[in-house]
A = this chain, B = another copy of it.
């Protein structure tokens, strides 16, 4: 029986190496290779005709993160089953990744047996949702429509730009100059995002953005 091939994309070498050992311990799976980020993955995929069955994709990586990488895979190698792999259990991150086409979302603190189950499920069913991820998805649907819009709708480019700058020590006046807009327009963005995220102050906005990975916190 031919083993299902797995590729690991994770910048934490220790984790990647350990994970590779774990996967190889399963009879049905074997690791083709592992790479440190999306760029390296794409290079490997382009230069090799050996297409993996499954990609285990970390989200938080330097150089090219999981979201960008997922987009590329969806566009160029749609047949590969991608399982997102992250420590981040925030709703927005999970939803974003699944919308981009990931077939499952594994939290790094799951039990190895569940991990094994996930690999099998994604091969046989083309999808794997853990209970926790399914619950998260349900919760996001059960909220009122307002919240659904709030958490599901992607931010416009200008809003995201503003949000990133709001997560710095710049004043709104400086942000306005930076974005070549009137301070009043910036004030409009601010008010809009306050309502959108249900926060009461710029501090709340920054905390929300960081907690939900809308900006790089580090």
Q: Counting CB contacts under 8 A, is A115 at the interface?
A: yes
A112–B210 CB distance below 8 A: no
Q: Counting CB contacts under 8 A, is A18 at the interface?
A: yes
Encode A191-218 as 1/0 by CB contact (under 8 A) with B.
Answer: 0000000011111101100110000011
Choose one: B15, B17, B18, B206; the contact of A206 (CB below 8 Å). B206
B22–A18 CB distance below 8 A: yes
Choose one: B13, B19, B203, B211; the contact of A14 (CB below 8 Å). B19
B109–A13 CB distance below 8 A: yes
A21–B13 CB distance below 8 A: no
Q: Counting CB contacts under 8 A, is A12 at the interface?
A: yes
**Chain B, Cβ-Cβ closest to A19:** B18
Q: Counting CB contacts under 8 A, is A180 at the interface?
A: no
Residues of B within 8 A of A199 (CB): 169
Query: Smallest CB–CB gap between A13 and chain B, Å?
Result: 5
Question: Of A12, A18, A22, A202, which is in contact with the most chain B CB atoms at under 10 Å from its CB?
Answer: A18
A-B contact pairs, 29 of them (CB 8 A): A11-B109, A12-B87, A12-B109, A13-B111, A13-B112, A14-B109, A14-B111, A14-B112, A14-B115, A15-B109, A17-B112, A18-B19, A18-B21, A21-B22, A167-B203, A168-B207, A169-B199, A169-B203, A169-B204, A169-B207, A171-B201, A202-B203, A203-B203, A206-B206, A206-B207, A207-B217, A210-B210, A210-B217, A217-B217
